[in-house]
Amino acid sequence: MKVFVWAVAMLVVPAIYAQELPEGKGKDLVASYCAACHGLESVTSQKANKEGWETIVNYMVSRGLSATNDELKTIVDYLAAAFPQAPVPVKPKAEGKGK
């Protein structure tokens, strides 16, 4: 009975978490792999560029995430598109100074 409950939970929990994620290729992978160890708020609260997400995903691999190289690439691409690092605002130049 415990095995059945666990199996059902492993099917239902990623589906529930997937509803919180933006659409895109890789959404289901992120929902299933990331939600297996922690809540998706750990993911959705972070913002990074592609290199930053690669670092984060590689860290998760070092902690036990087991996925194919293609899956990892898809996950990184999805996260970089769905949760990008905010651009640094550019301070406008003051008009009339230095002329």
Q: Where residue 97 falls among pLDDT bands split at 50, 70, 90?
A: low
Enumerate the domain spans of the chain: 9-82
- Rounded Cα–Cα distance for residues 99 and 96 (Å): 6
Written as one letter, the residue type at 27 is K
Q: With b meaning 16 or more CB within 10 Å and e meaning fewer, what string describes 39-54? A: ebeebbeeebeeebbb
The reported pLDDT for the residue numbered 96 is: 63
Token pair recorded at residue 97: 């100074």
Domain 9-82: give its CATH code. Answer: 1.10.760
Which one is predicted more confidently, 70 or 3? 70
Q: What is the pLDDT of residues 34-68, one digit of tens each?
A: 999 999 999 999 999 999 999 999 999 999 999 99
* Cα 77 to Cα 1, 9, 29, 73, 93, distances in angstroms: 39, 27, 11, 6, 35
